[in-house]
Structure formats: structure tokens, C-alpha cells
Amino acid sequence: MYKLLVLDVDGTLLNDEGRISPRNKEAIRKAQDRGVKVVLASGRMFFITKKYADQLNLETPLITYNGALIKDKEDRIISHTPVPLGVTFQVISFTREKKLHLNTYFEDTLYIEEENRFSRYYQNRYGVTPCVVLDLLKFYKEKKKSPTKLLVIIEPGEMEKWFPLFQEKFSDKLYLTQSEGRHIELLHPQVSKVFALKKIVDLYRIKREEIIAIGDGVNDIEMIKYAGLGVAMENSSSLVKEVAEYIAPSNTKDGVAETIERFILNKSGK
């Protein structure tokens, strides 16, 4: 019997309009009625992820920033593992040198050095208004505290060009992953969604085989591999599908609901 359902948000729980479909909502409600705990695991900021949790009436902790921050519904920190400050300075300098746009996240606020087409794309897509500080190096040196996450936005189709460069420069210092096809995410070297998932597992004393994890992105691969049942969405890349035990319909065809109905509500034979 499955006791924990872990859901990625973008491309998994949400459809292409950025909404939770009525069928997904109903299936999640029925899973909760069966006693299954439902946890959202997102690369997004806490305050945005919480909006979706509130729509689903979830009482469980939220995995945000790809696992760097776990908070409960009352905004209390369960775990926070920020990017080391020294490496933060290195990333800021490197992105300046390469003329790349850098998002930095501190205390659930987005800080950037300048508004440009990349910041406008991000704001339009995710509804996050950035705070412009002009000099990120000075900002973090004065704060003497680390950002929760760093995110580089690149042009579409340039991941194969830039990601290997960041791996070469920072893979021994940070955890690097990709999202949305044009985001390079840099986090504390211990951090990932599965890093946070293990903390949730310890909190609820749930076994791996009692977990279903559903996702669509490269940053979901580790938690899909870790779960008792790892599920990839049909809209996932081949890298994600290769590690999954089950391929659900796409996010536009209520793949989350179909998985719940099949494996938790037992509507299709399991």
C-alpha cells in the first residue's frame, strides 16, 4: 500500500496553462481520504508552491527550491540548506564574465542585477517580481548570508553549450541540474529533491516502497529512482522516462490523476 505521493509541480501537476485540473484535484482529494500523504516537490520558491498546496488543501511540508528549503504550512523551516557563500561569489563572477543572466533567491525573494529580456521572461512565466540590487556581490557580502538557490537563464537550445561549462567549473562544489530546457540551477552540493524527500520519509517514518514519485524533469530523476514506484510523465524527456517504472499520460491529459486512480484508488487493476 502506498502511503506517500510526491508530486513535481511544473509539467506534472500543472497543465500547460499553469493550472491544476479538476480531475487532478479530485484524485488528490480521494488519495488523501485514503490516508495517503501528498507532498509537492518543486524547484519553485516557497510562496508560489504554497499557493498550489493551498488549492489542494495540503497539510504536509513543502519541498521547494529543488530541496534546498522545506517548510511546513505555517511557514516554519524544517530544513534549509543554502548555497555556500564563497561559491556564490564565484558563480556571480563567472556569470558576469560570460554575460549570463543570474537569478539569486534570498529569504524567498528574487534578487537580480538588472532587468532584461531574461528577467521579463521569468516574471511573465512564473509571476515573480524581481528585486534589482545592481551589484549582487556587494549585496551578499553585506548580508553575510547565503542565497537558497542560484539559477542561470540561457537562450532556448543552448543547454548543451552552457551546462557542460558549469559542470566543469562547479560540479565539485555544487549540485547542478536543469529545468525548463533553459534553466541551469545551482544548489548546495548535498541538495536535491531526493535529499529533501529522505527528510520527509524520516519525518513520517515511511518506507521507500510505500512512495510514489511523479515528475517530468531532469531534476526529478533522483526522486523517481528512489521511490517505490517512480513515474514519468509522457511529456518527459527520454532521460526521465528511462528511469521510470511507469509512464503516465502527459500533464495536459491528467497524468497525475490517472496514476492515482490506477495505483492508489485501484481503478485499473493494481
Instruction: Tell me, yes or no, if 8 is annotated catalytic.
Output: yes
Block residue for cell numbers 518506507: 207
* Active-site residue identified among 8, 10, 216, 220: 8
- DSSP annotation string for the chain: ---EEEE-IIIIIB-TTS-B-HHHHHHHHHHHHTT-EEEEB-SS-HHHHHHHHHHTT--S-EEEGGGTEEE-TTS-EEEE-PPPHHHHHHHHHHHHHTT-EEEEEETTEEEES---HHHHHHHHHH----EE-S-HHHHHHHHTS--SEEEEE--TT-HHHHHHHHHHHHTTTSEEEEETTTEEEEE-TT-SHHHHHHHHHHHHT--GGGEEEEE-SGGGHHHHHHSSEEEEETTS-HHHHHH-SEEEPPGGGTHHHHHHHHHTS--S--
Residues carrying an active site annotation: 8
